[in-house]
Structure 1
Amino acid sequence: MAELEIGEHCSFPNCNQLDFLPFNCEDCCQVFCKDHRSKSLHQCIQDVQDTGGVSSEPPTSTFSSYPCELTECKDKVPTQVICEHCRKNFCLRHRHQQDHSCAMLIEKPEPMQKTAELVKKITDSIKSKPPKPKKQLSSKAQKTAAKVALIKMKMHAVGDASIPQTERLYFQVYLPIEHRCKEKSKAMYFSKEWSVGRLVDKIATMASLRNENNLADSKKLRLFHPVVGSTFPMDAKLTKLLHEDEPLFNGGDVIIEYVDNDETQLDDLDLYKV
């Protein structure tokens, strides 16, 4: 495997020294090491022609230094570090084009920028396609899922302890959108003999929800079906809702939300289970 060589070799005859910060002579356009960077030391052809064979460049002082040409930088370096693009001298910290805002710099897209552009392109392409309709679980599948959830729900659900075990209905209650910063959902149990209205009042109490159902001009708390999004009548008995065409299931989900008095349907049910 070939070795990676950094720097350039001095062009002065019999020198050929590898210099990591080589000097580029502007007159003869050759590269030299620090020992031969001076025109007189490398016997620059242009210098000899201009002076009739005598170099006009004063001897390089042992303590000479070169200021960085970046305006806000005060550093000096013992040898010139010339940018090959703008031909100005810079210190080691500002020698790269990006570090001294080189006027000749051509910006290249960073790898992360290219990745972000690709991700955006793919995302926009996906958004432009019409969403596929979600497959709705059958009533049998919903009932099976509710039975599995019920086992776990009984371990941490909250409710009125005076309700007999044989009367208890368990639901995972998804709370209003405006309440999401506190809690997304809560497992609760109720009596199957209760009305929907009493269940709504109990949820409001246990979840500390604002309940203004008795005020004419306020938004109302209503209970909604988790799959079809329709509201349940406030006077309906819970036990009856277990035997509807689109039934609720013991251990299943319900949604409670604030709506206008005449609103009977939730459109975007996915918002509640994100």
Structure 2
Amino acid sequence: MAGGTEAFPDLGQHCQHPDCHQLDFLPFKCDGCRKEFCLEHRSCRTHECPKSDHNSRKVVVCEVCSMSIETTGRDGEDEKAVLKRHEKSGTCDPKKKNKPTCPVRRCKEVLTFSNSSTCKSCQLKVCLKHRFPADHSCKQAQARNGQWNDKFLAALASTNGRDCAKAGRGSGSPPTTTSSIKAY
């Protein structure tokens, strides 16, 4: 079905949903079925796309070792085939059934591929709540940033409470105080 109007035949596309066919000047192309749709039918769920999971990421959990195996819809592999290939690979070990937890004290968060982060300084794998170096007491980051913090604190202490912006203006008089205005 061609898009556009009589005056501009190449402008826009008709929605390819069987019940719609609305002329849309900014149509959406489905990544799965490669058809053009209007705003209302652009999602795979609304136009019942037969190839809706070609780009989706899926995870299959091995019942033997509790390892999560990431798959994609592109290869069309069955979950059973993925699990069978995992068992034959030699990485499936029933002793590894216990999932790793966050090493931060009193944190019992189970680490998976989607809720963990590896610190760039100390290479420690922690949960997302403790991903910042200060949150998991990263020694390398503290050593690196400690030098800069010490210099900053020394410079701050050397001002002795003086306002740095007014100190270099050359005025010998002390700063004047302004009255405060209360908001009601």
TM-score normalised over the length of structure 1: 0.21
| Structure ID, larger Rg | 1
Q: Which has the higher contact order (CA 8 A, sep 6+)?
A: 1
Name the structure with the higher helix share: 1
TM-score (norm 2): 0.28
